[in-house]
Amino acid sequence: MRLRFTPRDTSFFDLLARSGQKLVDAADLLAEFVSADQTGRTALAERMTDVEHEGDEITHEIMRKLNSTFVTPFDREDISGLAGAMDDCLDYMEEATDLVVLYRIGTLPSGVSRQVEVLREQARLTAEVMPRLSSTRGLEPYWVEINSLEDAADRAYRAMLAQLFDEVTDAVTLLKLREVVQVLEEAADAFETVANRVETIAVKES
């Protein structure tokens, strides 16, 4: 473990915890969105955009703090990378809702609910682990579980693609639905990147 001889600014942990909570807010909203009918989705997509903007502001606050703080709790690039990875998760979830509204998609494939279920669990676990970064001990179950969930997301994504190609005969509709499920898969991948960032920090600080 590296020795530190100056006080650390622990407010970074609060900011990361706030960012993690935005992931939960977005994932819960995404679940509400995919369960809604087409007429109710526009308002939910606007709420998702608000959550994404709030997450952006937290990320910007972290970056500003990095630029003005002499001693940070972890390496600057690790804090920056972690904040950016969580921001990516939000971006993908917001993009998915935006695409559904823009493409005027009516009924979503049933498998989308499984994708969103995985994202909600990934978001919950990530929000829980952020306040625990102050010690970096005992965090391994987090990234192991996130990686397992990402594997589940991969399986759901492949099964959904097979279903789409089997059942959707209109080429334009197929392309629209495929893009939506692809973005949801990218969201699951982004959560894995967050977990990898946490693992890197834990290893460095052990």
pLDDT digits (tens, 9 = 90+) for 55-88: 999 999 999 998 888 788 888 899 999 999 999 9
User: Which class for 6: exposed (0-12), middle (13-18), buried (19 or more C-beta within 10 A)?
Assistant: exposed
Percent of the chain predicted with pLDDT > 90? 80
Residues 6 or more apart in contact with residue 5 via CB below 8 angstroms:
none
> Cα-atom radius of gyration of the chain, to the nearest Å?
18
**Tokens 């279920």, residue located:** 117
pLDDT digits (tens, 9 = 90+) for 34-45: 999 989 999 999
| Contact criterion met (CB below 8 Å) for 129 and 70 | no
pLDDT digits (tens, 9 = 90+) for 144-184: 999 999 999 999 999 999 989 998 999 999 999 999 999 99
**What is the rounded distance in angstroms from the CA atom of residue 188 to the CA atom of residue 193?**
9
The pLDDT-based confidence of 8 (bands split at 50, 70, 90) is low
The token pair that represents 178 in the structure block: 């495929």
The pLDDT-based confidence of 4 (bands split at 50, 70, 90) is very low
The token pair that represents 168 in the structure block: 């959707």
Domain 11-205 has CATH 1.20.58.220: yes
Nearest residue to 41 (alpha-carbon basis) of 199, 185, 180 = 180
**Tokens 């650390």, residue located:** 8
